[in-house]
Structure 1
Amino acid sequence: MSPYLNRIKPWVSVICTNYNQLAYLEQALQSVIDQDYPNVELIVIDNGSTDGSVERILSFNQRNPTIRFIRNLANLGLNRAFNQGLALAEGRYIIDLAADDILLPGRISKQVALFEQLAGPYAVVFSNAAYIDTTGREFRQHYDVDEQGHARARIPSGNVFQKILESYFICTPTMMMRRDVLNELGGYDETLAYEDFDFWVRSARLYHYAYLDEVLTLKRQCPGSLSTQVALPDNNLLRSTLAVCKKAFERCTTPDEYSALAGRIRTFIRKAFYAEQFDLALQFGDLLRHIEQPGLSSFLILELSRLHFPVNGIYRKYLQWCPAGQSAKLV
């Protein structure tokens, strides 16, 4: 790239973390190479894969020698692996790409164009996504769209701190983030089992988010993904969520924000109870009492948690039987 082009086209760093995603890995990497934006660096971190991913990455790297590759001999966790890439990244903007997701054509150029137009403290540009299964079949959008492909609902933008406490409305892999903001926050919190809720809480308190109304990413849903593990008794997701809720509590400043957090805490009291992580359910209850007294439903669940009422087996059978859309309302 010429020095002039580098000045007018800010670099974008795509950090792709992989753990045993051999079947999808090359498609994810190729989706970055095929972008029409000129200034993209691709950093790939393999997190101790045992399925032949390393050999596939090395082969891909031979055909695309500008890729920077980090090989971890053991799985260091998603957040630590991402931070390894962040330490090498030189782009003004960052994309966190899972090795089973796909960037659609034009995504980077469109998000950069919006970022460069924004005024004020914007840290994230996010968009709509289409969900695909293991075969690549598209089965729904993150936000339902009309005939023109626009989201039917009004998607929050600007100051979204309260909104991210109310619901998971952002499709994580659609985000483009400012590198200086990630560095200011110290990257992802390596003590946690996942990254997105914590990043949203810490960044949205200080910065704004902008929504780009277009499907720009294919998000793959596979059996055994993090979202399906929250019902397992030995999962670490709920303990991480408690830590993030405590961070959110420290950052709330208005009654509406505290109320939004209380709603989130009530949800995770139920999730911890269903997973038979009774101590965590009670800790969520203690945090809730700093905002409000538990209502009847939460009170009963907390009392059953004190009794270690066995519920996980029944609940997991229910999840297998119940349609996904219905079960999502209960978890």
Structure 2
Amino acid sequence: MVSDPRYRPVVAIEVSGLLTSHANDPDGNPLFPNPVVAEVEFSKQRWPQTLDEPEWDEHGRSVKAYCFNRPGVEWVKVMVARGYEVVWSSVWLEHVNTYFGERLGLPRFENVYDPSMAATTSAADASIATLARRYPGRPILLTLDDPAPEGGDALGMARHPRDRSITMVAAFPWYAPAMPEDLAEVTEWLQMTTTLEGQKELARLRQHHKRRGREHLRAMRARTFHGEEHPWLDAGRRPTEEDRLAASSGLSADQIVTYNVIAEVLRQGLGDRLDAWFKIDLLRTRDITGAVQRSVDRAKKGAVQRSDDDQQSSDD
């Protein structure tokens, strides 16, 4: 067990993505492999004010099917066994142990999430601000159910510069819940934070990636704005509006690849309801849900317009 706080990581976890994922409606089948599907009964008297209320029956109860993620549950148990400090950073507030922790066989963890901050910022930023203030000098891993505004660097930016290399945010949104290979990576990172040598190596790697990122950004901007070949796209192709948006947004090569992968996965699932403007919208706003909704709305509007045009043609 790690005793020195400087080498004892804090593992701050949210329920969604790590421990639960969505179930298909109405049959309740899981979207992803290896979960346990079970119903959770909620009470109106024990419902967090941070979440929108469901529909209650005449007894003030609501039942919802959840997919409980086996890899995530077992991973949390291993983190406890290693002696790491595991805490909730969850919008479920004091009810998180009752509705989820006890059901999953987890010990009772403190919930450090501060709901007073969520009124003026996002849930992710509320978690980040609380952890940065509460655990100076400690290694911190935060799991979220949606990507933070600044991605993996979000929590680090809120901390002292010397603590940024011992900081990680792992996002497990609805379309990519925690899988064994993801958890193996964060476990390796956590292990490195438990020794002086490991923390020095993480600091070195962070400086290396920052330097590479600056080099990539300079090259990308030069090639995009001077009309040369884009470094991460097909040779000979002229820069597009999408390329210029990416460059002006300050995205790294890895971030662009990530957005392209997300766009392709969603396009395969939604087909022609995603239009040509979707990826540009996604790069501009970095809001997956909003970009999808706007794209679908445009597709519906286009379908209505085509229908009206066809009707007009038939009338003529």
Q: TM-score range by the shorter chain?
A: 0.3 to 0.5
Q: Which entry has the higher C-alpha Rg, 1 or 2?
A: 2
